[in-house]
Amino acid sequence: MRQGPMFLLLSLLLLSPLASAQQPLSLEAGARITELQQRLEESEKQRSALTQQLQSQDSERESAQLARLRQENQRMKLAIKELQAGAGTPQRLLTDQQQWFLIGSGVALLSLVCGILASGGHRRRRQWLN
């Protein structure tokens, strides 16, 4: 490769950052930057105020929820005490209908046993079978 094109390439590479360098800011651009910085500060103030407001609302919401949970906890404790107090009294195992069914089946079983015992326990030839 020749020295000429290499030197030209090197000089172009060195001059390219200078060609893309920023030009000095005009007065309009400076005023615009100042205005944007002021708007940024105002936005930051608004953001911090809104953040504080949100935190206060969250704490109010949490305190309301905490109060509701405490009330529910108290209700549950009372319900537990009532159930424990009710456990001391005997509970009925059978309903009225089930009790009558058991009484009826007991009577039928007792009459069957009495009938077997009354027949004398031996086989008699039945008259009506002949």
For 32, 81, 85, the CA distances from 72, given in Å and listed in that order, are 59, 14, 20
Structure tokens at 40: 């940024």
Handedness of CA 9, 11, 15, 17 (dihedral sign): positive
pTM of the model: 0.35
Q: What percent of the chain has pLDDT over 90?
A: 36
Alpha carbon separation from 88 to 74, 75, 76, 84, 97 (Å, rounded): 22, 21, 19, 7, 25
Each residue's pLDDT tens digit, 53-102: 988 888 888 888 899 999 999 999 999 998 888 776 666 788 889 999 99
Chain segment 89-103, per-residue pLDDT in tens: 666 788 889 999 999
List the alpha helices (DSSP H) in the chain: 3-19, 27-87, 96-118
In the chain, where are the structural domains located?
28-87
- Tell me how far apart the alpha carbons of residues 66 and 71 are, in angstroms, rounded to a whole number: 9
- The residue type of 125 is R
For every residue of 64-85, DSSP letters joined together read: HHHHHHHHHHHHHHHHHHHHHH
Average pLDDT of the chain, as a whole number: 82
Q: Identify residue 108 by its one-letter amino acid code.
A: A
Q: How confident is the model at residue 105 (pLDDT cuts 50, 70, 90)?
A: very high
